[in-house]
């Protein structure tokens, strides 16, 4: 009991500390170039960050499906779009992960079994896939992007089609050893795809768990937390001097993503399991269409 109370206390303090740090970050960075000029030129990205993070932390599928089309439409190079999307998600996915983790700590001890085990299995394999892709410099094959886009559309369609049949979800649903092996492989592949698109691993993990009839809210929470660890796994690239990240965008979109990440959990908890599946299904269909359009 003391250990559980300590964990809740630490998560609450981390969440409270995260918000004022974000405010300080905006004030400090805008002072470097003039608040009015920076706000006029880049202030709209605050709302882009809010919208992207709400959808990302409501589904676990990542905010790249919002950020990449916006940045591409503005004429950013593909590498700039990916790097900037990663940097923004370091803010939004972290805020979402903290809120979801804190929510788990408020639940009964016997609810959401295997939550920590699933996160601990998926996270290192996802980061390993991302690092392997980035260190070896694997370029994204166009056929792979097309396949992922088509696969996302098929997954989303299948989830929506399954709404015709009643599903029984329970906080006590367990997955077996074969599922953990599958999740490890899915996470590794998802990490590689995330390195190319800044989206992927959360979508694959959440979809698999939903098909295995794991509690939908728990599925989203796991996907968000694994995605947060994964995007931070790329921070050594996107926050260095040689990065292509456009920090003028990040200084506004990042705090917006924090706000969206904090709000997303409330949205999910107000949806029934059926509505959450429909919401997730539509989202990953849009994700697939986005990849195909901007491939």
Q: Confirm if 94 and 261 have CB atoms less than 8 A apart.
A: yes
Q: What backbone phi and psi angles, to 5 degrees, belong to 92?
A: -65, -45
- β-strand partners of 170: 214
Contacts 24+ apart (CB under 8 A), 18-23: 18/94, 18/95, 18/98, 18/258, 19/258, 19/262, 22/91, 22/254, 22/255, 22/258, 23/255
Q: What backbone phi and psi angles, to 5 degrees, belong to 147?
A: -65, -45
- Side-chain-side CA neighbours of residue 292 (13 Å): 14
209 or 33: which leads in pLDDT: 209
Is the per-residue pLDDT at 218 higher than 70? yes
The CA distance from 163 to 253, in Å, is: 35
First to last CA, the chain: 51
Most confident of 70-84, 153-167, 217-231, 272-286: 217-231
Return the structure tokens found at 151. Answer: 């696969």
109-121 burial, b at 16+ Cβ within 10 Å, e below that, comes to eeebbbbeebbeb
Q: Confirm if 53 and 224 have CB atoms less than 8 A apart.
A: no
**CA 286 remoteness from chain centre:** 15
C-alpha distances (whole Å) from 256 to each of 41, 48, 245 are 16, 7, 17
Q: Please state, rounded to an integer, the average pLDDT across all residues of the chain.
A: 78
pLDDT at position 68:
77
Q: What is the mean pLDDT of residues 148-153?
A: 76
C-alpha distances (whole Å) from 214 to each of 109, 167, 208, 251 are 17, 10, 9, 37
List the single range of 158-167, 207-216, 283-292 with lowest mean pLDDT. Answer: 158-167
Is the per-residue pLDDT at 3 higher than 50? no
Burial of residue 21 (CB within 10 Å: 0-12, 13-18, 19+) is exposed
Tens digit of each residue's pLDDT (9 = 90 or more) over 80-99: 888 888 889 988 898 899 88
Residue for token pair 């206390």 = 9
- β-strand partners of 214: 170
Instruction: Supply the angle between the helices 142-161 and 177-197 in degrees, to the nearest 10.
Output: 130
pLDDT at position 187:
96
């Amino acid at each position: 009991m003391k250990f559980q109370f300590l964990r809740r206390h630490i998560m609450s303090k981390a969440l409270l500390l995260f918000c004022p740090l974000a405010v300080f970050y905006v004030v400090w960075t805008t002072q470097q170039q003039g608040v009015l000029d920076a706000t006029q030129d880049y202030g709209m990205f605050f709302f882009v960050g809010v919208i992207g993070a709400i959808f990302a932390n409501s589904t676990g599928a990542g905010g790249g499906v919002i950020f990449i089309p916006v940045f591409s439409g503005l004429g950013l190079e593909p590498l700039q779009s990916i790097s900037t999307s990663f940097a923004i998600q370091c803010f939004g996915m972290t805020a979402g992960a903290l809120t979801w983790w804190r929510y788990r700590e408020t639940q009964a001890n016997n609810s959401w079994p295997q939550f920590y085990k699933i996160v601990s299995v998926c996270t290192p394999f996802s980061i390993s896939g991302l690092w392997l892709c980035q260190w070896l410099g694997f370029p994204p094959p166009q056929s792979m992007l097309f396949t992922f886009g088509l696969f996302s559309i098929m997954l989303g369609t299948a989830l929506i089609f399954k709404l015709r049949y009643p599903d029984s979800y329970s906080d006590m649903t367990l997955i077996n050893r074969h599922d953990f092996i599958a999740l490890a492989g899915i996470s590794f592949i998802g990490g590689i795809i995330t390195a190319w698109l800044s989206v992927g691993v959360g979508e694959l993990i959440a979809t698999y768990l939903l098909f295995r009839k794991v509690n939908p809210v728990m599925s989203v929470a796991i996907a968000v937390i694994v995605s947060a660890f994964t995007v931070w796994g790329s921070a050594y690239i996107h926050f260095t001097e040689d990065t292509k990240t456009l920090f003028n965008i990040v200084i506004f979109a990042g705090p917006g993503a924090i706000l969206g990440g904090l709000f997303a959990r409330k949205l999910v908890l107000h949806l029934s399991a059926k509505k959450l599946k429909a919401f997730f299904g539509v989202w990953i269909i849009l994700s697939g269409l986005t990849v195909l359009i901007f491939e």
